[in-house]
Amino acid sequence: MTRSPRFKLSTMMFLEFFIWGAWLPLIFAYLPSLKFDVVQQGWILNAFALASFVGMFFSNQFADRNFAAERFLAVSHLVGGLAMLGLAWAQSFWPFFILMLVHCLFYVPTISITNSIAFTHLEDPQREFGAVRLWGTIGWIAASWPFVFILADWTRVPAMQKVGFVEWLGAALGTSKEGSALLEAQRYTFVASAAASLLLATFSLWLPHTPPRPAAVGQSRFAWLEAMQLLKVPFVAVLFLVTFFDASVHQCYFIWTNDFLKTVGIKPNWVMPVMSIGQIAEIGTMAILGWVLARLGWRATMVIGILGHAVRFGVFALAAYAKQHDSLQALATAAPWMAVVINVLHGICYAFFFATVYIFVDEFFPKDARTSAQGLFNFLILGLGPFVGNFYWPYVGREVAVQGGQTDFARLFLYPAGVALGAAIFLAVAFRPPARAQVKEAGAAAAPH
């Protein structure tokens, strides 16, 4: 493959995940500032999940069968970017919810479509996809770190010419906006996301041409139906179920980590960079993913990815427990560092499970329904799993894991850790994928005729 397509595909991934990474980490704290109640917050957060449901049955079908993928990408990011820009000024529930829903309806399908474009134009997807996809991770990181300065309280930072660069930088990095000023500044997350979306809408016109794939004779007119037929294959059904549980556990991280990090001493303007440590680690794991898959195989790689969630939430629970008990002074002192450093496991959680699932799907599903096959698992990863998680994990944190009227993080994080451990054991026991050559035969046999 020439360098030009590889560069374009990497740039596409960078912008695709910059858009998402700019607004997601802080929205869980931003919504309460607009006085939305718990139910309203749940519906806004679940706009992403609702869009994945629609995308599975409509958008991916449309892209697969009827529309050049790069043109669909351009139109989607144009509309989605304009909706995201409006979110920076929306203050009441219905305008905010409608704008978020419009953005998500156009953005969510593009995650599958960018994967499909990359797989189409890579000569060896199993070996090369990780290196291209890691630029999406870099994009997520790039969206996070500027907010250390954007959310700094510059009224409390001395002038550089008075104190020198080192002292000025230390004050800027260590001084965060608080209260209403912090919440007001968080609106810029939507502006940054919208700018990246509109840029990708333009850039998409220069991506390699990826034409539609009309249904072949004897194949279903509905690409999503063809993809769902493959759930009849036992090991695909097992993977489908495990993906649901892992996606739900993954959503717990985004719902509660913002609040948790503040309780262990992390300043508000550092929350996004700390959460992005996982994406930094993801760069390394994505880079070696092909090597790991070749040596460990599908099942072992995925099991390790799920266990990463169990360990991370276990350490979160330990750090919270230490902060609650004065007798554990040494451990309590180390709690902030524990909460920060353990985020490196996010690279394993994402690359070794979710990215591996995408590669596995590309190996297994029929070529003409590839985008819809990716959408089938995105239905779980971005849809049903987060949809359930957005209601269940807030319930656990507010009604079950409570002590003295406050969320007991030490107890809360044991729940997702336990679910992840159970899912890893089930996958290790029940998931028995065939060899690569047999996968393609199974895919042909399972496709409707």
Residue 172 placed within a domain: no
Residue 162 placed within a domain: no
Residue 300 placed within a domain: yes
Residue 123 placed within a domain: yes
- Distances from the Cα of 264 to the Cα of 319, 339, 367, angstroms: 8, 8, 48
Residue-level pLDDT at 200: 97
DSSP per residue, 221-259 = S-HHHHHHHGGGSHHHHHHHHHHHHHHHHHHHHHHHHHH
The 10 Å CB-count burial string (b at 16+, else e) for 188-207 is bbbbbbbbbbbbbbebbeeb
Residue-level pLDDT at 60: 58
Q: How far apart are CA 318 and CA 339, in angstroms?
A: 9
Enclosing H/E stretch for 327 = none
Residue-level pLDDT at 440: 44
Residue-level pLDDT at 58: 65
Count of domains observed in the chain: 1
Residue-level pLDDT at 83: 97
Residue 176 placed within a domain: no
> What CATH number does residue 56 fall under?
1.20.1250.20
Residue-level pLDDT at 441: 39
Residue 51 placed within a domain: yes
Residue 420 placed within a domain: yes
pLDDT per residue, tens digit, the chain (449 aa), is 445 588 899 999 999 999 999 998 888 878 888 888 878 888 998 998 888 777 666 655 666 667 788 998 999 999 999 999 999 999 899 999 999 999 999 998 888 789 888 888 888 776 787 788 888 888 988 888 777 666 777 777 888 878 787 777 777 777 777 777 777 778 889 999 999 999 999 999 999 888 876 655 455 556 566 667 777 888 888 999 999 999 999 999 989 998 899 898 888 888 888 888 888 887 788 778 888 988 998 999 999 999 999 999 999 999 999 888 866 777 878 888 999 999 989 888 988 999 899 888 877 766 655 666 666 787 788 788 999 998 899 889 988 988 888 899 999 999 999 999 999 999 999 998 876 544 443 333 333 32
Residue 52 placed within a domain: yes
Indicate the pTM of the whole model.
0.75
Q: Are 59 and 110 in contact (CB under 8 A)?
A: no
Count CB atoms within 10 A of the CB of residue 171. 17
Domain with 341, as residue range(s), is 3-151+186-446
Find where tokens 């930094």 sit. 280
- Distances from the Cα of 169 to the Cα of 105, 126, 358, angstroms: 41, 43, 41
Start-end of H helices in 325-379:
329-341, 346-349, 356-364, 370-378
